[in-house]
Chains A and B, each alone.
Chain A
């Protein structure tokens, strides 16, 4: 870890003006600072900002402050009942101790667990643009099959963001140019030839809260995470499904994947294959094929394609079972 300036922000405006690296739960930032992967000259502690509330919105949706801890959000009564997929995703992530610290805004900005990103002795385009990618011909079992490029194949590690993607969340920010609202689907960037740019935030811009739209009555949702062990591991493949059924037909479906892509991966291909079709195993199977049609395996991660398909089929079966 390197020497850095530490200060505490008392207001959101003050945090934006301070123009440094924001410290919330610290579960990513401090970890990577200890590894010298991130060496911010100035760290702004934002834990004192009044962004730690979960509130119902007049339209029936939910407003989640950026500093709401993962544990608090997961066990929130409204989230448990209405946004089940989000509660399940949060509880499948990390460990209780980490969830007690990690925040909503921080989780959206969580850094990849790629071995090569986390060690400054390796070439990594995300850490040092133009340096090369050690994962392409390295041990890439945990890397992405979707959204990768010749420059980066690191997976986005968040579970929460996958659920929020399927819930069509919106990220609200405040920056040097004022406030803005960004649909989560437009918030993340695929690596392309600039893997160091992971999202659309500009320097100094801070996430203030996330909103979830209301869900129609009868909507079902579920998060399934597959991995080697039962807890405390990132996903090999995960899927979030938010779905409505009427008379045996799927009227609306939102599908997002985790663990297989360079960003939380919304699959409109799967959604198209589901909407307007009967809730049958054949439909589910077609949707899973559609979702993975563009997948590109690396040397060690080809199995993720089949695993993600199976995860989607199972999740659709689970969510449509008694509908």
Chain B
């Protein structure tokens, strides 16, 4: 953690792998990159073993490109697809037991606040719908009730993709899956409303169709969590394997869902709104 940790010790440049040298010289450390400049700098996340055309992998790629301070960030994940890409990035990653990510993040954030009182250290949880809304439900809710200051991002693929296609609490009603042959009998959990009533100060629902908007939402969620309280992003990241979407149509599917139940939605408390308005005014002046 910190820039000193990233730099290559003098004299060792020629022995370091090419990827690492690129990361230090042309990467994101110590400077702000614009997500629209993707493809012109070395990204934090490396080659990952996620399926071809996976839009969870896409969301994670944009997530890493939009971190405000990658050198001062810790990412937490849990069992599920997302950890396959999260663990391949040049940002410290902690792998929680299934469902306890938000409990681990609470302790970590408190410890970092005591250890570095003069610095902002960002803690971000990225887990799937199973990790946050099914098995980790209790710990997720209680971290919000306690108003812990970190960001929770749910990458919602609406199924247990890793273990063969069981229905999850976030699967839409009536959907037939490999391990739910009769179709799901219950409604999809309304995670956004739950987050609002549980004490989150910034809540967003997004479908990954516009990289600039994803970056803006992620930056806002992280900055609001520094000062005010818990923040939550609900992102639609389709599972093209379990939902049998041809890889070429994955973006079309995301656009389609955006028109239906994943319309872009952003909610924040008044004090957070004021904070962002003031910040934007300063940016315009600069």
Bound pair (A, B): no
